[in-house]
Amino acid sequence: MSPLFSIFSSKNTTQPFPDSDLIKLLKKTAIEHNITIFQDLTLYHRDQSIFVPLMLLDMKHGLFLFEYKTWSYSELSGSYIEVSTNQHQAPNNLYFSKIQNFIVQKLSEIQNQDSMEISKFLLLEKLSIKEYEKLETNIKTMLPQKKLIFSDSTQAEILNSFQQTAILGFNAPTTEELTAGLLTQYLIIDTHAKHLATLEQRRFIDSTIENHQTLSAESYSGKSSSLVLKALQEKLKKSTYHPIIITPTKVACERLKQQLLNTIEYSFLSIDVTSIEILTPIELLNKHLKKLKKELLEDTLIIDHILMEKNVNLADLILCDDSDLLTREFINYLIHIQKNAGLLLVTKEALFQEQQIFLKSFKPLEKKFIFKQNNPYPQALQIIKNLLEENDAKDILIICSNTTKEHLNADLSYYINHKTSLLSSSTTMQDHKLKNLTLASYNRINAIHYKFVILLDICLASIQDLIYASNLATDSIYYLYDDDACELITILKDKFETKTE
């Protein structure tokens, strides 16, 4: 007889499982009984990572881990089995213990949670239940049937195996808590809560971007958060990888930097937050100019011809948010400097053959679109005064031309006796007083959301900027225009109008 130990050692489980009939049945059972599936997943904690081929989460019975075996009856019959010593443990058993210890340690450190039940099952693709019953007693003792899933197991039998594990106690984490603790690369931490990225966001985060691609995504789709997690994922996979995120304004940069820092700190990751750069377009150009030892830019984005002639390696991957708000000249510059590296543009324009799409949106459903005609400037002052009676100044954003912005800045302080903050591409979060009214121009509104948004000088803006601005309000947006309004008002009414006053 040959020892079963050699069969245990024959294959490591650090590779994905095959898409076999048994795996398909297992996943079908999980889906139909509200059991969460995690497949081909890498877990990260501090400076360590571990690959998990398949894991199921049942909130009544805990986590289920699996090993996939191709043992046949002829291989098992006539073999003997013995308990492995510490010196002779099979690689698969060691790997399972490593996964289990990794999960326990991660949950314990992040959530002070050590009550999660973790069970292990063997998937026996080539062994039936009847064949198992004919095996020697000592083999069946070492391989208890309740921990085995056979080639001819039914859904009911699979479910019964899961339900024989211990029932979780009252201190067990919720699904949200558990996934937030385990799945660092899919964890979105915003000002309100922690939640798991959607399926389409996770697919994007896991995707390969080695050339040039676009991501089509509306406001409130989680696109900016997904860019942060995509950059983090690449850095976790390879420590020397250098990603850069581009976003149009300083305020947007600082918000994404804070989100990145929150994720790294919450998950105890051993990553230098500065190794993932989040820059404005001017900061990227200055990074290039500095390498060429040329004079740096201040406030105006100018792409010198030398930047298009003398290329340098700035990043392995550039992720550019809200590309539609940037000039075509700058987009061409990005395409040029990344001609041999990865580039992803968040844009509605199909610039490249490869495109990804976010269809799901978390846009507020009850938002009001209010169109007001005649005397837009005094109307704006009156609306602001009325809103301030029941709302905080920090909840109000006024978007207009630079000339109107200067007048409003003076008039709001004089007539309404309220301070304002002027939002620009170089404004930082520290400069932007969050307790004040905010004034911005149409090309300086990236990644900001307010309860109330008031639009002036509509006919001086592009339809692209107006649609983007229309998505910034969470409660109400006001369109203020003159009698001789341009065609843009008609387009906006057709698209958004819900109420006219």
Helix (H) or strand (E) holding 220: none
The model carries a pTM of 0.78
pLDDT of residue 88: 47
Q: Is 466 helix (H, G, I), strand (E, B) or coil?
A: helix
The proportion of the chain whose per-residue pLDDT surpasses 90, expressed as a percent, equals 52
pLDDT of residue 192: 67
CB atoms within 10 A of CB 190: 12
pLDDT of residue 479: 96
Q: Tell me the two tokens of residue 141.
A: 């003792």
CB atoms within 10 A of CB 419: 13
Helix (H) or strand (E) holding 157: helix 155-163
Q: Are strands 48-58 and 36-45 parallel, antiparallel or unpaired?
A: antiparallel
**Whole-number Å distance between alpha carbons of 178 and 198:** 16
pLDDT of residue 308: 92
Q: Tell me the two tokens of residue 176.
A: 């949200």
Domain residue ranges of the chain, discontinuous segments joined by +: 5-176, 194-357, 368-500
3-state SS record for 300-368: CCCCCHHHHHCCCCCCCEEEECCHHHCCHHHHHHHHHHCCCCEEEEECCCCCCCEEEECCCCCCCCCCE
**Whole-number Å distance between alpha carbons of 476 and 66:** 51
Query: Does residue 342 have a pLDDT over 90?
Result: yes
Judge if 194-357 and 368-500 fold alike in CATH terms.
yes
Chain-wide mean pLDDT for the chain?
A: 85
CATH of 194-357 among 3.40.50.1110, 2.40.50.100, 3.40.190.10, 3.40.50.300: 3.40.50.300
Classify domain 368-500 by CATH number. Answer: 3.40.50.300
Query: Does residue 109 have a pLDDT over 60?
Result: yes
Query: Does residue 90 have a pLDDT over 80?
Result: no
Beta bridge partners of 103: none
CB contact burial 327-349 (16+ within 10 A = b; e otherwise): eeebbebbeebbeebbbbbbbee
Residue 445 to residues 163, 457, 465, Cα–Cα distance (Å): 53, 15, 9
pLDDT higher for 180 or 330? Answer: 330
Query: Does residue 25 have a pLDDT over 70?
Result: yes
pLDDT of residue 177: 75
pLDDT digits 0-9 by tens, 387-426? 999 999 889 999 999 899 888 888 887 777 766 776 655 5
Residues 6+ apart with CB under 8 A from 336: 308, 311
DSSP string for residues in 36-91: EEEEEEEEEEBTEEEEEEEEEEETTTEEEEEEEE---HHHHTT-B--PPPGGG--H
Query: Does residue 432 have a pLDDT over 80?
Result: no
Query: Does residue 2 have a pLDDT over 60?
Result: no
- DSSP code of 184? G
Query: Does residue 7 have a pLDDT over 50?
Result: no
Residue 7 to residues 72, 179, 367, 409, Cα–Cα distance (Å): 11, 34, 63, 78
pLDDT digits 0-9 by tens, 268-296? 999 999 999 999 999 999 999 999 999 99
